[in-house]
Amino acid sequence: MESRLVVQRVLPSGRQALVRPFHLSLEGLKSSTVCRDAEDYDVMVKSVFLCARRHDVIVVIYAVVSNHAHVAVLSEELGQVERFANNLKQVHSMWLSRKYGGVSTLLGTCAYITAIETVQYARNVFAYIPRNALDNGAENIATYKWSAYRAMFCKPGADENGGSLIPVKNLSRRCIRQCLHTGDKLTNVPWMLNGNMELEPASACDCAYLESVFNNDQSFFMRLVGSANMPEMTYDLSIVKNERLNDASFIKLANEYAGSWYRTNIYEMSPAMKARFLAYLSRKLHLRVPQVARCLEMDREIVAKILGK
């Protein structure tokens, strides 16, 4: 990873730590939606920050559309991002189930997490995320309500209609339950709500991180957003989970995940660690029993049982 991507931050828990960027792609179902109306979008955006806070993850930029969401975050390690993603799926699935009944929509879907290793890739991801608004029918990315695009390179202080913002930390517990749909104690958050009781992204995102990646040049950011190659980025996101890798590529990628998850390599893992890691890895890569057994030095029958093959 390029050194300038690793920064020191105060985490939501109050600890100081070195963090690095990750891209979370949270998929919905092709036959269903995760956000049907403005209330669902509002709840999803707030849940992104609530779940990130619970798992010591910092949100940089996000976009929520009708059937999926993208979030770029800063975290100490991959495991934290995985737990954040699972919590977000659980929370929003519960919301949809309570409101509409039926199946918990997101619990059967995948959250794909990619470590952002280079400044160029970070720029592409940060530009790609807000462009998802166009897939949701938005005519103007800048006015799309459910992304953090408008938070970047701005001076927060008033809502878009010129009204005063409301500090979340000043709200009563009852109001927090009504507006943010949580019982979490939020007395130390910097978050602000606008006159519609929607979360203002400039008060909650680490805008300074994104801005530094674009050399603090707003025009640079806007140019790249305007020229972001959506098909190419979509391909980049899908290739890791679908591609059949050769042994060398598989070992390299598995070691990257192992380093982020366990801070070790695949050959130093105990059998129990390998079993847990393989269950995790199966959600990220297209796995073949012979290759996994060969590369991870595991028994084929055990691998097949873990993978359900």
180 with 98, same domain: the answer is yes
232 with 274, same domain: the answer is no
Q: Which of 212, 237, 262 marks a domain boundary?
A: 237
Helix (H, G, I), strand (E, B) or coil at 63: strand
Helix (H, G, I), strand (E, B) or coil at 6: coil
**pLDDT score at 235:** 43
- Contact present, 290 and 263 (Cβ < 8 Å): no
208 with 153, same domain: the answer is yes
Q: Which of 237, 258, 283 marks a domain boundary?
A: 237
36 with 171, same domain: the answer is yes
89 with 172, same domain: the answer is yes
Tokens describing residue 218: 């707003």
CATH number, domain of 146, equals 3.30.70.1290
CA distance 94 to 77: 27
155 with 265, same domain: the answer is no
36 with 110, same domain: the answer is yes
As a whole number, mean pLDDT of residues 165-176 equals 94
CA distance 262 to 284: 16
Structural domain range at position 272:
245-307
- Contact present, 112 and 241 (Cβ < 8 Å): yes
Sorting pLDDT into bands at 50, 70 and 90, what band is 14?
very high
**pLDDT score at 111:** 74
Tens digit of pLDDT for each residue in 172-212?
999 999 999 999 999 999 999 998 999 999 999 999 999 99
Regarding predicted confidence, which is higher, 274 or 61?
Answer: 61
As a whole number, mean pLDDT of residues 79-107 equals 83
73 with 110, same domain: the answer is yes
Tell me which residue of 188, 109, 199 sits closest to 147, measured CA to CA. Answer: 199
Tell me which residue of 44, 49, 45, 46 sits closest to 12, measured CA to CA. Answer: 49
Name the domain count of the chain. 2
211 with 280, same domain: the answer is no
Tens digit of pLDDT for each residue in 109-146?
667 888 898 999 899 999 999 998 987 788 889 889 99
126 with 260, same domain: the answer is no
As a whole number, mean pLDDT of residues 263-289 equals 81
CA distance 267 to 252: 12
- Contact present, 62 and 129 (Cβ < 8 Å): yes
Q: Which of 193, 208, 237 marks a domain boundary?
A: 237
**pLDDT score at 23:** 93
140 with 180, same domain: the answer is yes
Q: Is the pLDDT confidence value at 241 over 60?
A: no
**pLDDT score at 213:** 97
123 with 177, same domain: the answer is yes
